[in-house]
Structures are given as C-alpha cells and as structure tokens.
C-alpha cells in the first residue's frame, strides 16, 4: 500500500500544500514549528479519521480560517482510491472514499493502516492508564474490524450506567441497572478477549525488536492486566453495585485495564533511562507494524517523527539495520537535521525524496 500524493488546505499551520511521495522513503526536514509533524499528522488523519494528538477536530483548523480539507490518493495492488476529509466550524466532519460519504467513520479505520512513532509516545510510559488503553484501542481498531464498534457500544452503555447511578435509586432503577449491566458485560467480555489476544500476539514481535535494538542488553516484557482475568464481569458489577452508587460512577470494568511495561522485572517508568524508554516504545511500535503486516498481508505506512534524538549511535544503527533488512514499505521520516537524515537514509536506499518544511510550506 502506498500514499502517492496528498493535498492539504488550512490544516494546522499548513495553508496550502500538495505533495507527491516516493514509494520508498520520504524525509521532511526543517526547524521546529515549521510543519513537519503537522504533515505526518495529516497523513495519520486520512487513515484514522482523527489527529494523532487528540483534541477537538476544530483545533486542527488553521488559525483564522473556517475549515480544513485533506485529500489523499492511495494505491494498493494497482488500484487507486481517493480519500477526502473536510471539517467546517459548526458543520462537523465529512469523510469520503472515492466520492462516497461514509455513514460511519469506523468503517474507514483499518483500510489504510499505519504506524506512527512520535516523541509524544512517552505518554504511554509516564501518563495514566488511559493513555495505554487508548494505544490498545488504536491498534485493535486497525487490526480487528469489529473491535471499534464493540468499543463504541461499551462506552455508550457505560455512559448510560453512570448517568443512572447519579439518579435516586428505587426498584425501577434497580431493574434498569440490571438490564444495562447485562449489555455492558457482553461488550466488556468481547473487548477483554480482543485485548488479551493482542498482547499474546504482540509479545514475541516486541521482544525480538527490543533485543535487536538493544543488542540483548536488557529483558523487557508486556503484560495485560484486567479485573476480568480473575473474576467474571457480571459478578464484579454485582459486588461493586453499592460502591458504584456511592461514587456515582462505574468503578470496575475494562475501562480500568492496564498495560504493564517492565524492564528487568521492574516498572519501566521507574528505572528505565531515557534511551531505554525510547527503545521500548520503538520496539512496541515495530511489533505493532509487524502484526499489522501479517494480518493485512501488506505493509502499513510507517511514520517516524523525530525519532533519532535520545537514541545512541548503536541503537540508531540497529534500527536502520532492521528497516533495511525487512520489507517496511513506504516510510515517512521527520528530522531537524538535514545532513543527519540524509546520511541515515543513504544507508537504506538511493530512492528517496527529501522535502524541506518552512512556515507550513514544503519544497522537494
């Protein structure tokens, strides 16, 4: 799968841009704040129907404008597909594939898979469990067609339950809560099994990638932790019903799941150096890439945003070796140092394109 070209209007600091990409490696260089990451985020948006960095869609509209549009031309097995996205203030978002409007955005996610690696991924290690659950959701949304619909259903039922817990409690409320619980259990168990299987499948690819990047210097592991591992969800909800009424929200369930990250049997967050943490995240994303590649039967796009900082020369060399030896498909790389990225990419291939970013404009 390839992204052949992209057209952008009023997306973040990019007023207008139209770029044709190399099928191999595309490098975007420039100083901080010139639009390098915004270009990658536009590519991500076309695939995932939202920004990599979260927040309201309106935050992505260029300052002083009323809308943004994105258009991408994808190619896979000699078939081209055009994706259009438009967001207008007070009018919402429209996504089209080959001029046909999606009725559900979830139908688009996973058709044009990608993996993005960014400095903001540190939140996976240093922030709350919500960040790690978001990561699991984003991986599964691309790899399992039904997952996103089940997750949306679970979140909708959870919202209903939490609203009900804030109302005066009587026999009618109790009956309605029991009905809601039955629906929540069905969706919650499905999500639990999806997530559990994902970690089982990710683990060997993750371990292999980390060992290659670190040259076997440390032992690392991933572990999926959920209350549903040791107790039936229906039983948990029943046992915690009085507590939930007191707190006026649901205190148990898969919305409290955790992804444990460890190095040498200790939490990565506590003992991992900056380089070790970055290597851990690289290995995790490369494992995600390999899993998607096997499931889809073709390479996802790989977006590498400013990844060479904080990696020592040895780990950079190992990363390049991995990319050079494997069929990684189309790659997008940003860096502030043109000389550095040019030297790095020349080790991989002679077929690449370099774009220079300045004030939201790009020249090749």
Task: Determine, yes or no, domain membership for 119.
Answer: no
Burial class (CB in 10 A: 0-12, 13-18, 19+), 179: exposed
Q: Could you tell me if 135 and 253 lie in one domain?
A: yes
Please list the pLDDT of the chain residue by residue as tens digits (364 residues).
999 999 999 999 999 999 999 998 899 999 999 999 999 999 999 999 999 998 899 999 999 999 999 999 999 888 999 999 999 998 889 999 999 999 999 999 999 999 999 989 999 999 999 999 999 999 999 999 899 999 999 999 999 999 999 998 887 888 999 999 999 999 999 999 999 999 999 999 999 999 888 877 788 999 999 999 999 999 999 999 999 999 999 999 999 999 999 998 889 998 888 888 888 999 999 999 999 999 999 999 999 998 877 677 667 767 776 776 656 789 999 988 888 888 878 877 778 899 999 999 999 8
Q: pLDDT tens for residues 203-236?
A: 999 999 998 888 777 889 999 999 999 999 999 9
Q: CB of 253 within 8 A of CB of 188?
A: yes
Alpha-carbon distances, residue 25 vs 108, 301, 343 (angstroms): 25, 10, 13
- Please indicate, yes or no, whether residues 181 and 292 belong to a single structural domain of this protein: yes
Note whether 146 and 234 are same-domain residues.
yes
Return d(Cα 68, Cα 88) in angstroms, integer. 7
C-alpha span between 337 and 350 (Å, rounded): 19
| pLDDT tens for each residue of 48-75 | 999 999 889 999 999 999 999 999 999 9
Percent of the chain scoring above 90 in pLDDT = 75
* CATH code for the domain in which residue 257 is found: 1.20.1050.90
Same domain, 130 and 256: yes
Instruction: Give residue 316's domain range.
Output: 1-113+300-364
Task: Among 243, 269, 298, give the residue marking a domain's end.
Answer: 298
- Is residue 144 domain-shared with residue 290, that is, in the same domain? yes
Same domain, 269 and 246: yes
What's the confidence (pLDDT) of residue 47?
97
Does residue 196 belong to any structural domain of this protein? yes
Answer yes or no: do 289 and 330 share one domain. Answer: no
**What radius of gyration do the chain's Cα atoms show?**
22
Question: Which residues are paired to 84 by β-bridges?
Answer: 71, 96
State how many domains the chain has.
2
| 229 in the same domain as 173 | yes
Specify if 120 maps to a domain: no
Residue 222 placed within a domain: yes
């Amino acid at each position: 799968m390839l992204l052949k070209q992209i057209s952008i209007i009023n997306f973040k600091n990019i007023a207008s841009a139209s770029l044709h990409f190399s099928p191999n490696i595309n490098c975007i260089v420039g100083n901080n704040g010139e639009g390098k990451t915004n270009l990658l985020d536009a590519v991500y948006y076309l695939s995932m129907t939202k920004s990599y960095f979260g927040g309201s869609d309106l935050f992505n509209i260029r300052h002083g404008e009323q809308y943004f549009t994105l258009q991408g031309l994808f190619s896979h097995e000699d078939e081209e597909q055009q994706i259009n996205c438009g967001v207008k203030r007070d009018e919402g978002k429209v996504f089209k594939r080959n001029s046909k409007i999606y009725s559900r955005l979830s139908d688009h996610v996973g058709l044009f898979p990608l993996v993005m690696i960014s400095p903001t991924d540190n939140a996976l290690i240093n922030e709350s469990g919500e960040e790690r659950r978001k990561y699991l959701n984003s991986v599964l949304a691309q790899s399992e067609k039904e997952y996103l619909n089940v997750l949306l259903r679970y979140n909708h039922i959870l919202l209903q339950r939490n609203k009900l817990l804030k109302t005066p409690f009587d026999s009618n409320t109790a009956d309605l809560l029991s009905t809601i619980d039955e629906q929540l259990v069905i969706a919650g168990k499905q999500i639990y099994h999806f997530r559990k299987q994902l970690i089982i499948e990710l683990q060997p690819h993750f371990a292999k990638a980390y060992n290659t990047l670190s040259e076997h210097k440390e032992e690392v592991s991933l572990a999926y932790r959920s209350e549903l591992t040791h107790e039936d969800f229906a039983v948990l909800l029943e046992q915690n019903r009085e507590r939930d009424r007191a707190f006026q929200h649901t205190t148990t369930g898969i919305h409290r799941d955790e992804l444990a990250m460890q190095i040498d049997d200790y939490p990565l967050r506590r003992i991992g150096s900056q380089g070790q943490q970055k290597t851990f995240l690289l290995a995790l994303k490369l494992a995600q890439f390999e899993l998607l590649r096997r499931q889809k039967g073709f390479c996802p796009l790989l977006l590498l945003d400013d990844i060479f900082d904080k990696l020592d020369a040895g780990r950079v060399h190992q990363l390049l070796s991995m990319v050079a030896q494997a069929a990684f498909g189309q790659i997008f790389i940003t860096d502030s140092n043109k000389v550095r990225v040019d030297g790095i990419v020349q080790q991989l291939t002679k077929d690449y394109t370099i774009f220079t970013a300045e004030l939201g404009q790009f020249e090749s």
